[in-house]
Structures are given as structure tokens and as C-alpha cells.
Structure 1
């Protein structure tokens, strides 16, 4: 352990000494001109503003034939201009068969079977974090933040676009206000820029600045845009008030409520933004894909609340923040007196408010601060003899904080410090975690190494301290790629108050070799082959846990069918360190052999299918698992698509924890059958109005056949049968029918009907009819809600109080197409 810590500290202390820049390859550039009269954003480049505009040309194929010039038949030219309000792009995208341009309508921030035009802008020109703006040939907008090639599509900007299909191809006209961009306060601006075009019929993509697919993320290959000077940075202040109403019916009881609140964004300066939510309302978030969890480890569900997913790239550093802890399950668990039972136990805590401050200085220092406050939450306890009720505090007023400092250097390296803190009022537990993370890429962008070290402190009845760390090195260029890393986590590492710990008390050694095609060969557009070795041991005290070999493959043909498969084995078996749910105990699992195959058909066609077959076989008679998944999708028209899904998992003689009786840890051998069916249907009226139906039914049945006692050596010995009291059938049923209307930029009306049912029955082997009778006899949640939010920009609002003949008002009206 001391040696490993020394290696980690060596890597971190030498971070800046090894910081290097990319090779000094000349970057493509363009110099643009200022205009005085803004063009109308209508998809027709006939305004005088476009005359004499700088033109970006000579696009190059990025994939599949990397580096090949764009054909003359697809000639692409982009005109770029700017004014005091923002930057404008007019893309002329030729197509020899304009009637065949693919333009499927989708909801905002979704791209399907579409041609599209893509802009990547980096106001700090650091090749690390950019903003991307995409418009499809159907006029649908998509935007995201791009950090070292990793896309965060939860970010939503307010910008303007229009497209027109003509007899030569199509045109995309785009206006991006400065209020949506981030750049230093300088008289002369130099930004990073790249642009791409997707030609969907041939599934080829072309970029303005050439991209080398053999190494690095594509975002580091941007060019530069010059000529922007002496612009007045606008006040970045916007409000998004909302009103909502809910009609909730549960078990015959109906409640109606009305809500109102507001989101606020304020640009503190050119670098930093305050994002605040006042009186939160998360009633229309997507339902969770609930499962029956029989394992020792908590299920980690995705965040669905927009405030916690948008603009959180800084807060994800180090994986110390699991945002669902904020407003999640209460931390208290009060003891019941004799003859008492819980009459009401809230499953979540109400959020009072939350704010984020984030940004990056001109020197590359990113700073992120997050704060949220939750209110007191009580359980209601009833005395079964007197029928009297009392309240018990299960979560006090609590404060959640994150501070992130992230220093970038070179063109693709960084070092970060992350601290999280939870402070609860009174005698409830408090927690703190701090980590240092470094990620360094060499000058040629061919080698990368990283290291991290973190500590956690939990203050409850006594203080608990734990650590985690790791380091690794990877070759990230060429056809042959390699990596090796080691990670550890001590048994007392606990970040569950604000993060997600999962497994603890291990050290893990990992190695990888991968081979890929850099250019199409034969009948294949690309091929990826990956070989992985993983060896895990218990850290304290040392104990072998697992040795795992994995091979997987991915092929894409020139007709754009994807297929692949793989093989995995634990040849020496596994000693599970967690399923016994008792410190110092483990459970032996025999060796398994897992093989799988999968296929994706060409999704340019109306019918597309994704199918997977996965089969586990253990070195134990009768024990195995089979998984079948089929996900067909059918595009009825460019407005109407239906996605279906069926997943079947059959597990025989699965062994796992069942109970604890005095000193005996009881395991059971169980058969488990799980079926998941889903439907998602979308009808898109136009690029602003959509109707979406989402349905999911999850069914899992567990039948125990025999029971065992877990011995100290991890083996199982026979135990008296318990009968059927541990058998289980679980159902989760969800239907969402959602109507969405983006009636103005940044503004939305959503009407949602929701039906949800859960059933947990201590029985199994029920037939189809019995199961659904049981399910629909459970109390149902029926919810009808309406939410309207309206985006208000300060720069627009102040013009409301000026005369309509002011030049600013005229420009604003013109750019919006009025």
C-alpha cells in the first residue's frame, strides 16, 4: 500500500513537469467581418449582410474514409459573419438529389435518420471544452457541451436557426448570441472552430478542419476563427419562470395542487455563471427503470432532473457526486416501540433550493461550486393498540456542497481538486470527501497517463476515514492500443452521503489491448477488437477475489450493418466479497464461461433491429443464465416512429443471500425469470411540437429450491428448508403520455399523463392471468400535469421599454424572423 501511495504522489507531483502541447501543426483558420444589419434567420441567404462574408470551404471526410476530400457533388461552403449581438453561420450544403435528403423529425436534442450541420465553438481556444450547435435538415436543434471528446447533451442553449431545401441541396442559417458562449474579455478574440456535415444517405461525415482518426479526440483538431474584435459582452441574465398544476389520484384519493417557481441564470462575469433554482418542481421527470435488486449493492439510477444534469461536467470530476443523494432517501431510521408501525415513511426529501456557480478563467482554471438545501422530513408512526400517531424526524435540514478546481494545461491535460460536504442539523451524521485527479497527454497525443487519490470522512457516532486511489498509462494512437492501470479502495471508504461508493475493500489490476481499423478494408468500414484482463483481490486482509478474461468485438460493414460478439471467463472461480453482507466473510462462486453475439441492422431503413443473445454456463451442474434481447424500431414516416423492446433473462440455480438467523448466514439456490417489455412511440408534428408515448413493464419471479449455511471458508453446507416464504414476484408498470410544445426559444409547455403500478408479492410460479390480476389489484398512481415555462432574456426584456424604431429592437426582430 505504501508503495502504491508513493507512485500516486509521484504522478501528481510531476504533473506540470510533463505537461506538453500537441505538435505544432498549422491550424486551419478563417477571418470574418463585422456587419451592421443583421440577416433574417429564415434559411435563405439573400440578405445584404451575407455579401462579402468570409467563406469556409474545402471540407474533408472524417469517416469512414478519413482524410479523403469531399466530392464536388457534395460541395459545402459556410459563410460566417458577426455583429454586436452574436455570430452568424450560413451553410450551403449541395446535394445532387435534394428530394432524397434525409430529414426525419425528432424532438429537440435528438437526431435520428437525418442529414445535419454541426458547429463546434471554443471561446477560450484551449482545444479542451467546446460548445456544439447542430441543426438537422428537418430544422431540429441539438446542442451540447464537449469536453475532450465527451459530449454532455443535457446543456440547452437559446439560439436561432432555420433550414431550407432547394434544387441544389439545403441551406442552414444559424444565429448564436454571445450570451450563450463563453470567452475571455479581450479586445481581439481568437476562438477555436470546427464544422461538420453529416451526409446520412451514405453515412459519411465531413469536417472543415481535418481530423486524424488515428489518435486523440476529434475536438482537439479544431481550426481557428479570427476577426472578432471590440465586441461589447452582453449582460448574461435570464429568467425562466414556470407554473404547473397536478391532479394526482392514488388508491381512490385525489389531490390537486398548483406550483410556481423560477430558474435564474446570471453571468457573474465573462467566465462564471450562476445557475439557481427557486422553488423546485420535478413532478414531470422521467420514471426510473425499476428492477428487483437481490444483490448486496445498491442500484444506481440515472439522474432525471434537468437542473442536476445540465452543465455539470465540472462536478462529475472524480465521480464523487451522485446527484440523486440531494433530495433522495432520508438518512434516519428511527426505532419503533412495542406495538408501533410506520404509518407514513417518505421515500424522498423535499429540496428547498439549489445553485451552481461554474466557469473557467482565461488561464484555464475551472471553478465549480454547488450548494443545495433540503428541508426537515418526518415519518408518521402509529401505535397499533391506542391508534395514536406521532412524528419522528428522519432527515433534518441538510446542506450539500461541492467545490471543484480544475486546472487545464497543454492542449489535453488537467489536474483537479474536488471536495464534497454534507452537513446535517443536530446529531445526524455529516460527511466529507476530497480527491485529487490528474490526466496528462503527451506532446504527440499518443500516450496518456492518469492518477488519483481521494479520502472520505464520515462523522456519526464516531469518525470513519477511508481512501481510494489509482494510476494508469495508455497508448491512445494507431491501430494497436494498450493500457494498464491499478485501483484500490479501502473498506471504510464511504461517499454515500453525496456520492456512490458501491464496492469497497479491494485492489484491482487491469490490462487492455485493442486493435482497430483506421480506414475501411474489404467489406468492412471499421473493426474493433478488445482484449481485457482483470485481477481483483480483497485489500484487508488480502484474499484472492477474481481473475477475469474478456474479449469483445465490433464490426461495421460497408452496408452499415453492425455485428459483434465476445467471450468472458473466470477460470479460477470467484470469491465474492460482498454477497455475505458480513465483514470478513466471502462466498465462493464456481468458474463461469460467458459468450454473446449481437447485431444491429441498417437504421437508415424503415425497419431496424438490434438483437443480443448472451449465455452464461457455470462449472456447476444445472447452473446457468440465458439472456435474449430484441429491440425493433419502425419508421412509419418522417414524423412517426415506433420502438419496441423485449428482454428475457432466465437464470437457473442462482445462489445468493437469503437471510441471517443468529450466527448463520443463509443462502438460497433460486430460479429467477425476468421479462421486460417496452414501447416508445413518437409522433412529431413539426420541429416544435411532439407527442411521445413511453411504456415499460418489468416482471421478475424468484423461486427458491433449497437453502444452505455459509461456512467460514466460503463454501455452502445444507440447511433446513424454509418452504416458500422467500419466493417473490415483482412487477413495475409505467405509462407516460407526453405532449410537448416549444412555443418560443427556451420556452416549453408540457402536458403529461402518467400511470404507475408496483406490486411485490411473496409468492412465485403464478400464471400469466394471476400475475396481472395481482398487479392491477394494487393501488395505482394516476397523474395529469401541466407545466408551462417561459424563457426571459434580460437583453430582450430591456428593449420592451424602448421605442420600436430603435436599431437594437429592429435587429432583434429581424434576427428572429419578424
Structure 2
């Protein structure tokens, strides 16, 4: 049956993928080469700008797609180039320049800002671009974009300045060739898109017109002509760092000093080597820990910059969960008679890591990643003799990933991903391989996707598992549809370098969506989505559930956003995961879930977001209420505060408790969780910032009854089971960070951190007692300073030459950048 469905999906789509390509005219601009470089100061008064190539005729992208830009907002961009890079000078008219929105933020963040946006594609393939944004406040934002996947963790070193005048604002930008990727050819032809955000009215304008009805906006790039005989620069940079940490925990203080370096080297015009030598990740953001009662581990976000930057290739297929590297040890400390574990590490030290990635002018992306972690020990003490010993809980381990990603057409690709984990000392090894394809027809109206993955875990014996999916989707117009299926076998396991989550299922999915593509009445846009999914257990076959979901979102012409939805499992659910044992399930009654949400106008100084989400089960007294409330206040363009509180109140839920030799114990419980977060930013200028992040997480669980799970999914009361599972958990975190980008790519960061948590086997504590117990726990107080400095090889060369020996281009470009 599965093979028939897949075959029908693929055969039925063949005619769709033979349509002719729409004629999409591409805008063009020809730019001249200059000798004397302009000063990057936001003033376009140098002679070099006089004969620049001019790009104008911007068109509204949203909300009124396709409407010409009004004369009052006339936008003109001058573009020139020289031996070192490309220059943009954008003049953007505004009839009320005193009202230009220019909130200061940290680098790589955009607040309530007008901004100017550049998308450069050195291979002109409409699939891989470098993105550069400068806001009206002078803040830089950059990212890599591949087929609409944006990697904003990528940081380039480029130069910009803005100036607000009486009738307009100007953005002047210089992007060195060292930050771009392009083929080694005498005559270059690059893809180009530029956009202007007019935040006051909530409109965005693009240079090359974009059709919002279909396709990704990258396929609407224009083109740059005129760039000839430029030399690909040596792309070699170093980022040495020094850091110091003062740690105080439970009355004990430790001080340490670290030093190391990150290295980037352009192997050729397409490929880059990134390497971290002597890693230091001590200033990463805290994890938002939770009390986890589910059948699956919590998947936390990656906070380490090396593992977030330039990883767009390695994220294909979701086989890579970088927190595995340097995370919790894979082994455990085994104790003998009269022995206890006195030290059990929760992390593993990283020795070094490197990645090589890039894409050829034929559209082939190649990525290679490798990391090595240190041998890690737990300490065990004999309580009678006092003797101590160490035992290995993680040996020397090598992690590597290989990715091949061939892009073709405007939005199509075939990808191969392989991940491998090799451990010494007889610990388990693992491998996973995936093959993925995405095919979009020439007119960008239909998309076909398919993938297959295999996992191999080698311990005492080899365990093999599979995952696969196939689907087809209409991706254009007001009416959109999608159908597909995916499955995972019982032994699918990528948890050595990935994250598996649910396994042993077959899922059938269908979707219909309606969207408003142009403003109508009081609405700027509208999205209506209907989903119908069916889940089954694979081995042994068992119905699990049918889920119907409707969700919606609306944006008004005043830029208020609201929506809601409804979801139900009309036939109930046979939960195959909560029992934690293969072949078992627990019956969950039908639920009805409804929710509402709204966001007020984000352009205002005060805006508010709120969500209310209610589950009601076909069982007396059983339900869940979720409320999320988030007010934000922009005190000034420099100072911003935000607060968030969320509550989850769950009554009479059923969950796994324990198991004995011959029975699975389930419990009926009430669970209340409250999370409060406070954030504040004071931005001194576009290079210096002070940030506060506070979070308190509180969760209590109180059990009211216990049951023995039966093989048919029902529950048999077990009144004799003792109540020792009530829980109260608190987590408290404060981060106060000062950051100063004192030079391009160079930063001083000072961080103060306070953290504590408490775990108590009681519930229904009075509020004051709960906080007293929390603050009686040992606290982490940490003060750290880290200094990084960016060194570019091309600039280092000039340091060893006198001014008389410097060429005019070196002096004019490097010496005139603000």
C-alpha cells in the first residue's frame, strides 16, 4: 500500500514538472570600475560616485505586491567597484525624515527600524546569496541565504555608514571581495536584489519586482554587469581571543585564564575552512531548563557560535544536532559494593573542531565537519575504605559529517548527508546516511519532495533503522494543497550525532490553505490552513490517532495581528510513547483544543502579545489551559524592556510514573508551571550595548492516584502504590552582558551570571517557602571577560609596509573607512 501511494504521487506529478518556465524579466545594472575609493561616511560627495551605475524603479513587495514606489519615497542606489570590493550608495527619500524609525539594537538584530537590504549572488544561480542589511540607526545585519534558508549566525566584516538629511536618508556600504563568493572568471555576472523597509508605514520595496503569489523571492534576482578582471583575494583571517573567568559556587572561588584562536581560510574561490583552536564557550547563553516528564529528552538550542555559524549545509535532513558534541557523556559510572559516585560530569571537553564548506559555480555544495572530544572520567569513592578511583564515561570521540548538495533549476536540489561517530575503548559507534531530493517545476508552482535515511548503531551488535518521506505540494496562488507521508522504524536511532525523538510510526498528512495575496478591506493579509493527519504504529501495526487542525492568521491595515484555531482527535488516541515500553500503549480520550492569539502594532512604543490555548478532554475534570502574556515597551531608541509570563495549568493528566518487574505504573496528576522572563537592552550606539536577561521557571506536580497499565491500553486502579512522586522544581538565571564592537570583527564582552535551581519531592508549597528553599541552594556566580580581535591577512600585509610602498588603492580604501 505504501509503495502504491508513493508511486501515484510521483507519477501524478510528472506532468506538473514539464511545464514551461514563466518569462520573468530580470532587471540589470552595469557598474564602472573606479580608482579612488570613496570615504564610507554616509555622504556621497566624492567624484567616484558621479559615473556610478544607478539602480532605481523600486516596486512594492508587501503589502500591495507590485505597486510602484511613490515619488515621495523615490529610492536610488549608486553602485561602483574597485580591486578590493563593491560599493553601494543608497539615497532613500522620506517626506518626514524626523520620523524615520531608527531603534538601536545589537549587531544582527533589527528592531523598529527602516533599513536597506542587499542580496548578492556571486554565482548568479538564484539559490545562494550573501545578505547585508544596514538600519537607519547604523546597525549591521548579515546572513547567508540558501534556497530561502537564512543563516544569520554568519558574521562578515564589511563597512557601512548612514546619514539622515533634510529630505532623505543615505546608506553607504563597502563589501570586500573577501566576504563574497564568486567564480574565478575574467568577466563576472552576479545576481543582485535590493530592498528598502519603510517601517513607519509597514511597507517594503524591492529593486527587482517580486511576485508574492509563487516561488521564493531569491528567484527574482536582478543582475550586475560590468565587473571584470578582479582578483580573488586571499581569504585568510584569524580571530585570537583571551578570556578570564571568576567562578564562585557553594562558597568556593576559582579563577582561570584562557587563550585560543579561530581561523578562517579560503581554500579557493568557493570553499572555506573554519577551525577553532583551543575552544572557549564559557560565555554562551543559559539554557531554558524545564521539568521534563515526557518520554523524550529536551532538545535545547545551540548557543556556541562555531556550531551555529556557516552550518546551512550541515542542517540538511536534520541529521545533525550539534549539542551532542561536548554534551552529556554517552557512558555511565558503574559502582560496586560500598561505592558511590562523587563526581559525575555533565559535559565533555572539546579538543578542536573544523568545518570546510562552500559551493561551486555548478551549484554543488560540499560540506565536511570534524570534531574531537576529550576522554572524560567520573570519580567513585568506596565508603568503607575511603579509596577513590576514576572510570571512563566518555572516551576520545571523533565526530564527522559529509554533505553533498547539488542545486539546479531555480528551486530544486538533490542532497546526500552522512554522519559518523567513532568512539575509542570499545564504546558504541554510529553512522547515519540520508538522501534527499526537492524538485520544483519550471513555473515554480509545484514542489515534489522525497527522502530516505538509514541509521546504524554499532555496539555489541549492529542495530539498523530507517526513515523515509514523500510528498507533493502546490506552492503558488491563493489556494495551496499538500499531501505526503513519512515513517520511522522502531530501530531508527541517530542520537549519537542527531536527535531521533519519536520512532516506530507511519504518518499520512494532507493540507489545504487559502491566503490573501493583496490587501482587501481592513486586512493586509490572511492565511487559512486546514490539516488532516493520521498516525499509526508500525510494529506491531496499531491505530494511534487522527488529528484535524484548523489555524488562521490575519494582519490588519493598522498592523495588528490576530488569529486562532481548533484541533481535535475525534477518535481518541492510543499513545504509543508514554508507557516507555515497546508494544504497549495507553488510551487517551478525545480532546478539543481551541486557541486565540493577538499581537498589537509592532511599530508602536508599546506592543503586546497574548496567547490563550485550552484543551478539553472527553473525561470529567481533565483539561489544560495555557496562557502567554508578553508586553514590550520601547522607552527610547536606545532603551527597551520586555516581560513575558506564561502559565500551563493541567488537571488530571495521565503520565508514566515507574515500572516494576511485571507492571507499568501510570499516575493521575495535576501540573502547574509558571515561567517569568524579563529582558532589557540599553544600546549606547551601534557598537556598544548592555543587555539583561532574567528567567524564573517554576513547576509543581501533584499526584492523586496510581494505576497499572493493561495491555489493551486501559488503566486498573492500584490504591496500594505509595505517593512519593510529588515534585516542585525551580530554575533561576540572570545574565547581564556588556558588549563593545571596538573594531570590525573585534569585540570585548563582559558577562555576569547568576544561576541556581532546586528540586523538592513535595507539591503545594507556600510561595515564601518555595523561594526560601530555592535561595538556600548553592548559587553559581560567574564574572567573565573575553576579548577577541579580528586580523585579516590582506590588512596585515599593509602593516609591514611603509606608506610609500603602499599602492594607492590600499591607502585609499583601507585608510578611508570609518
TM-score (norm 2): 0.98
CA-to-partner distance for each residue in 1:513-571, whole Å, 9 max, x for gaps? 00010100000000000000110000111100110000001000001100000000001
Structure 1 residue 335, shift from structure 2 partner: 2.0
For the 8 Å contact 1:62–1:206, the answer to whether it is kept is yes
Partner of 1:287: 286
Q: 1:231-630 residue pairs with structure 2 within 5 A? A: 231-630=230-629
Structure 1 residues 463, 705: CA separation in 2 closer, same or farther (over 3 Å shift)?
same
In 1, the alpha carbon distance for the partners of 2:566 and 2:105 equals: 37
Matched, 1:809 2:810: yes
CA-to-partner distance for each residue in 1:665-688, whole Å, 9 max, x for gaps? 000000000000000000000000
In 1, the alpha carbon distance for the partners of 2:466 and 2:664 equals: 29
CA-to-partner distance for each residue in 1:683-716, whole Å, 9 max, x for gaps? 0000000000000000000000000000000111
Partner of 1:660: 659
Structure 1 residue 494, shift from structure 2 partner: 0.3
Partner of 1:35: 34
Matched, 1:215 2:214: yes
Structure 1 residue 363, shift from structure 2 partner: 1.0
Structure 1 residue 334, shift from structure 2 partner: 3.0
Structure 1 residue 722, shift from structure 2 partner: 3.7
For the 8 Å contact 1:8–1:453, the answer to whether it is kept is no
- In structure 2, the residue corresponding to 1:655 is in which secondary structure? strand
CA-to-partner distance for each residue in 1:493-526, whole Å, 9 max, x for gaps? 0000000000000000000100010100000000
For the 8 Å contact 2:149–2:312, the answer to whether it is kept is no
**Root-mean-square deviation over aligned CA pairs:** 1.6
In 1, the alpha carbon distance for the partners of 2:146 and 2:234 equals: 25
Structure 2 runs not aligned, ≥5 long: none
Structure 1 residues 43, 596: CA separation in 2 closer, same or farther (over 3 Å shift)?
same
CA-to-partner distance for each residue in 1:26-82, whole Å, 9 max, x for gaps? 211101000011100000000111011111000000000000000000000000000
In 2, the alpha carbon distance for the partners of 1:236 and 1:374 equals: 28
For the 8 Å contact 1:435–1:455, the answer to whether it is kept is yes
In 2, the alpha carbon distance for the partners of 1:290 and 1:775 equals: 15
Partner of 2:134: 135
Partner of 1:759: 758
Structure 1 residue 721, shift from structure 2 partner: 4.2
For the 8 Å contact 1:610–1:632, the answer to whether it is kept is yes
In 2, the alpha carbon distance for the partners of 1:597 and 1:76 equals: 40
For the 8 Å contact 1:38–1:814, the answer to whether it is kept is no
In 1, the alpha carbon distance for the partners of 2:18 and 2:780 equals: 56
In 2, the alpha carbon distance for the partners of 1:163 and 1:534 equals: 51
For the 8 Å contact 2:639–2:683, the answer to whether it is kept is yes
Structure 1 residue 429, shift from structure 2 partner: 0.1
CA-to-partner distance for each residue in 1:555-606, whole Å, 9 max, x for gaps? 0000110000000000111111111111111111101000000010001111
CA-to-partner distance for each residue in 1:327-351, whole Å, 9 max, x for gaps? 1110002321122111001101000
Structure 1 residue 424, shift from structure 2 partner: 0.2
In 2, the alpha carbon distance for the partners of 1:21 and 1:147 equals: 24
Partner of 2:65: 66
For the 8 Å contact 2:642–2:680, the answer to whether it is kept is yes
CA-to-partner distance for each residue in 1:730-753, whole Å, 9 max, x for gaps? 111000000000000101100000
Structure 1 residue 22, shift from structure 2 partner: 4.4
CA-to-partner distance for each residue in 1:598-629, whole Å, 9 max, x for gaps? 01000111110000100000001110000111
In 1, the alpha carbon distance for the partners of 2:41 and 2:108 equals: 20
For the 8 Å contact 1:194–1:207, the answer to whether it is kept is yes
Structure 1 residue 6, shift from structure 2 partner: 7.2
- In structure 2, the residue corresponding to 1:318 is in which secondary structure? helix
- In structure 2, the residue corresponding to 1:289 is in which secondary structure? coil
In 2, the alpha carbon distance for the partners of 1:727 and 1:740 equals: 43
In 2, the alpha carbon distance for the partners of 1:706 and 1:64 equals: 55
CA-to-partner distance for each residue in 1:310-367, whole Å, 9 max, x for gaps? 0101000111000000111100023211221110011010000000000111111110
Structure 1 residues 666, 34: CA separation in 2 closer, same or farther (over 3 Å shift)?
same
Partner of 1:188: 187
- In structure 1, the residue corresponding to 2:352 is in which secondary structure? strand
Partner of 2:640: 641
Structure 1 residue 23, shift from structure 2 partner: 2.5
Structure 1 runs not aligned, ≥5 long: none
TM-score (norm 1): 0.98
In 2, the alpha carbon distance for the partners of 1:252 and 1:448 equals: 60
- In structure 1, the residue corresponding to 2:218 is in which secondary structure? helix
For the 8 Å contact 1:21–1:411, the answer to whether it is kept is no
In 2, the alpha carbon distance for the partners of 1:3 and 1:442 equals: 23
For the 8 Å contact 1:468–1:487, the answer to whether it is kept is yes
Structure 1 residue 111, shift from structure 2 partner: 0.4
User: May I ask how many residue pairs the two structures share in their alignment?
Assistant: 816
Structure 1 residues 338, 720: CA separation in 2 closer, same or farther (over 3 Å shift)?
farther
For the 8 Å contact 2:509–2:532, the answer to whether it is kept is yes
Structure 1 residue 375, shift from structure 2 partner: 0.7
Structure 1 residues 17, 232: CA separation in 2 closer, same or farther (over 3 Å shift)?
farther
For the 8 Å contact 2:333–2:344, the answer to whether it is kept is no
Partner of 1:779: 778
- In structure 1, the residue corresponding to 2:684 is in which secondary structure? strand
- In structure 2, the residue corresponding to 1:33 is in which secondary structure? coil
In 1, the alpha carbon distance for the partners of 2:15 and 2:174 equals: 39
- In structure 2, the residue corresponding to 1:686 is in which secondary structure? coil
In 2, the alpha carbon distance for the partners of 1:412 and 1:325 equals: 31
In 1, the alpha carbon distance for the partners of 2:302 and 2:15 equals: 35
Structure 1 residues 10, 612: CA separation in 2 closer, same or farther (over 3 Å shift)?
closer
For the 8 Å contact 2:35–2:809, the answer to whether it is kept is no
Partner of 2:125: 126
Structure 1 residue 387, shift from structure 2 partner: 2.1
Structure 1 residues 150, 8: CA separation in 2 closer, same or farther (over 3 Å shift)?
farther
For the 8 Å contact 1:215–1:446, the answer to whether it is kept is yes
- In structure 1, the residue corresponding to 2:810 is in which secondary structure? helix
CA-to-partner distance for each residue in 1:292-322, whole Å, 9 max, x for gaps? 1001111111100000000101000111000
Structure 1 residues 452, 537: CA separation in 2 closer, same or farther (over 3 Å shift)?
same
- In structure 2, the residue corresponding to 1:34 is in which secondary structure? coil
In 2, the alpha carbon distance for the partners of 1:6 and 1:392 equals: 50
In 2, the alpha carbon distance for the partners of 1:751 and 1:679 equals: 20
For the 8 Å contact 1:566–1:595, the answer to whether it is kept is yes
In 2, the alpha carbon distance for the partners of 1:15 and 1:734 equals: 55
In 1, the alpha carbon distance for the partners of 2:655 and 2:395 equals: 36
In 2, the alpha carbon distance for the partners of 1:93 and 1:815 equals: 24
In 1, the alpha carbon distance for the partners of 2:725 and 2:775 equals: 23
Moved over 6 A (4+): 8-11, 14-17
